[in-house]
Amino acid sequence: MGSRRSWNMNFEPNVNMSDPGIYELCIKIEAEKLSALDIPLPPSIKAKINSLNILRQIKGTTGIEGNTLREEEIAKTLKAAKKDPDRKFNTEEQEVINADLVLEFIKKDASSNKEGIVTEELIRHIHLITTQKCDYPENIPGEYRRTIVHAGEYQAPSEHKIEKLMQAFIKLINNTYAPEIRNPVTRAIIAHFYLVTIHPFRDGNGRTSRALEAYILFHGKYNVNNFYSLANFYYKNRAEYVYKLQEARFKYNGNLTEFVKFALKGYLYEMEFGRQEMLKFIKLVTYKDFILEQFTAKEINHRQFNLISHLTEIDIDSPYLLFELNPIPLEDFKKRQHPLSIMLYENLTDRTLYRDIDKLKRLSLIFIDENDLLNANIDIMDQFT
């Protein structure tokens, strides 16, 4: 590890909003936002997608800081906390519980904050929720630090400068006359950069900064059918994320054009991912309708219809998966070792069973993957778009 470096902070982000890369990314993000509005979803699936993205946000923002809980463990922890709020949880569990409470606060407070004004009180409250009941040395939830701190190789400003720096930050981030602040997405990214750079708290600075970023995005209505955030992208690209922060400070001396561009790419990726999830569900619904048409038209028989129905069963109650289809091991099915093949072909020959599978393959209604599993081929619906 190299020596720690401090940066003489300035509050001149100088984001070049006319930069071709930034301009194009902002246009694509707006297009994704509008296209998501046109995708019809049942309330249950909309809630499911929202919950799944919240889970990813929690995993991302806590995982960056070293939390090792997997998504399924996070889901179980949140369920346990809601069932028994007085239960004692370990630090990693409490971190994800707090992250969930922060998101609940964001949804409630950002919706009522008509002007979207960011205040020190708001930031302190987010930090309080983020670090409450966590045993972090010298950290007082909701209060600025009283000691010097560092983040990796970055040396944060002295504790004596925090109040003055926070006042300058608040003035900047509420100046919506500036083009980069007027755009909610770039405003959110810039807010994240400055707050994590000031590092005003003893612990929880990264999570608080990413929560403020999510707050501004939510207020700007960039959460169409999803709780979008950048935390999951930062988590998956942690090394580049840290590098881009340092690059903005020391290579570009606070010019945030390149950092904003990096974050915009990540946000566009998250929005595209969410849209693909929504479209995948729509594709599944239309595939099921198509299969029913094939059965009604006698293109497939009742055994083939029941097989595909089984392959498209989904676990809607899974807390950490949008949905997964239900593949069947081909050999188990052929050897009558799977309950469905026992039921469908109890008094029929192997030849009939093989013929049914071959026809479904020939019609491209199913496929066999590299693990020798029978799968529903919902991608066949792409030919009708």
Q: Are residues 75 and 221 in the same domain?
A: yes
Structure tokens at 42: 């049942």
Which domain does 91 fall in, by range? Answer: 15-278
Q: Are residues 266 and 332 in the same domain?
A: no
CATH number of the domain within which 319 lies: 1.10.10
Tens of pLDDT, residue by residue, the chain (385 residues): 458 899 999 999 999 999 999 999 999 999 988 887 777 777 777 777 777 778 888 999 999 999 999 988 999 999 999 999 899 999 999 999 999 999 999 989 998 999 999 999 999 999 999 999 999 999 999 999 999 999 989 999 999 999 999 999 999 999 989 999 999 999 999 999 999 999 999 999 999 999 999 999 999 988 755 556 788 899 999 999 999 999 999 999 999 999 999 999 999 998 888 788 778 888 888 999 999 999 999 999 999 999 999 999 876 555 545 567 889 999 999 999 999 999 999 999 999 999 999 999 999 999 999 999 999 999 999 988 7
The answer to whether position 245 is within a domain reads yes
Q: Are residues 261 and 359 in the same domain?
A: no
Q: Are residues 266 and 344 in the same domain?
A: no
Q: Are residues 250 and 368 in the same domain?
A: no
Q: Are residues 97 and 209 in the same domain?
A: yes
For 206, counting Cβ atoms within 10 Å of its Cβ (0-12 exposed, 13-18 middle, 19+ buried), the class is buried
- Helix, coil or strand: residue 6: strand
As a whole number of angstroms, the distance between CA 284 and CA 312 comes to 8
The answer to whether position 7 is within a domain reads no
pLDDT at 320: 47
Q: Are residues 41 and 109 in the same domain?
A: yes
350: enclosing H helix or E strand: helix 350-362
Residue 332 has a CB neighbour count (10 Å cut-off) of 16
pLDDT at 323: 62
The answer to whether position 59 is within a domain reads yes
CATH number of the domain within which 195 lies: 1.10.3290.10
* Cα distances (Å, whole numbers) of residue 219 to 53, 377, 383: 17, 39, 38
The answer to whether position 359 is within a domain reads yes
Q: Are residues 274 and 312 in the same domain?
A: no
The answer to whether position 167 is within a domain reads yes
pLDDT at 1: 47
Q: Are residues 208 and 353 in the same domain?
A: no
The answer to whether position 42 is within a domain reads yes
Backbone angles phi, psi at 353, to 5 degrees: -60, -50
Structure tokens at 318: 């899974």
Q: Are residues 310 and 268 in the same domain?
A: no
Q: Are residues 221 and 317 in the same domain?
A: no
As a whole number of angstroms, the distance between CA 383 and CA 167 comes to 57
The answer to whether position 1 is within a domain reads no
pLDDT at 136: 95
What's the number of domains the chain is made of?
A: 2
Q: Are residues 248 and 159 in the same domain?
A: yes
As a whole number of angstroms, the distance between CA 261 and CA 192 comes to 14
The answer to whether position 242 is within a domain reads yes
